[in-house]
Structure 1
Amino acid sequence: MDHPLYEKIHSSKRFQDMVARRERFAWILSAVMLVIYFAFILIIAFSPATLGTPISKGSVVTWGIPFGLGVIISAFVLTGIYVRKSNREFDTENATVIEEAKK
């Protein structure tokens, strides 16, 4: 970080606030994903019959399959939420900070 522009951006209060908000948002989404994942694992560990129960009488598909797919899909959804917020808010603010630093 020898370039003066980088130093100016990094020392900007607005940039530091944006980085803090982005990190907080990322940690919240990570925590949500961990709760979903560990809840699934805990159900498997302590109540395997719950997810091993067939969806309907005579079905070979158990409740574990849709719950497992839900865990996978939730990862994609949370990633999409992060990307959307990043594209709408963080990228715009980052560009503004860079423009201000160039002045």
Structure 2
Amino acid sequence: MYDPIHALIHAHPKFQELVRKRERLAWILSGLMLALYLAFILLIAFRPDWLGARIRPGAPTTWGIPAGIGLIVSAFVLTGIYVRRANGEFDRLTRELLEDVTR
């Protein structure tokens, strides 16, 4: 079952803009997260001495703990960036698209 409104939406320039912007942001954020994970894995592989070094002499915490927490926090931050853009710019483009198509 194919509705003619789908063809109007897919052909609309705002839809093309929305898809292009959303895909670009998703690729950038995914690449950034992949680079952060890769950097962490490379640290584990090639600099385990640094990750295992204590933050201060006699301190129980090593540099690996804040590095791992930073990696987890970065995932939340990047997700927040996407959600902010999705709830702002992408929702605005979607509303404008629907208004144009349903007129």
Name the residue aligned to 2:2: 2
Task: State the distance in 2 between where 1:71 and 1:40 align.
Answer: 8
SS of residue paired to 1:85: helix
1:47 aligns with 2:47: yes
The Cα shift of 1:63 comes to 0.3
Task: State the distance in 2 between where 1:94 and 1:51 align.
Answer: 45
What is the 5 A alignment of 1:1-103? Answer: 2-103=2-103
CA deviation profile, 1:28-87 (whole Å, cap 9, x unmatched): 011111111100110110010011001111112100000000000000000000000111
The Cα shift of 1:25 comes to 0.8
Name stretches of at least 5 consecutive residues in structure 2 with no aligned partner: none
Q: Provide runs of 4+ in structure 1 moved above 3 Å.
A: none
Name stretches of at least 5 consecutive residues in structure 1 with no aligned partner: none
Q: What is the RMSD computed on CA atoms of the aligned residues? A: 1.0
Q: What TM-score do the two structures reach when normalised by structure 1?
A: 0.96
Task: State the distance in 2 between where 1:18 and 1:99 align.
Answer: 14
Counting matched residue pairs gives: 103
Task: State the distance in 1 between where 2:2 and 2:96 align.
Answer: 21
SS of residue paired to 2:61: coil
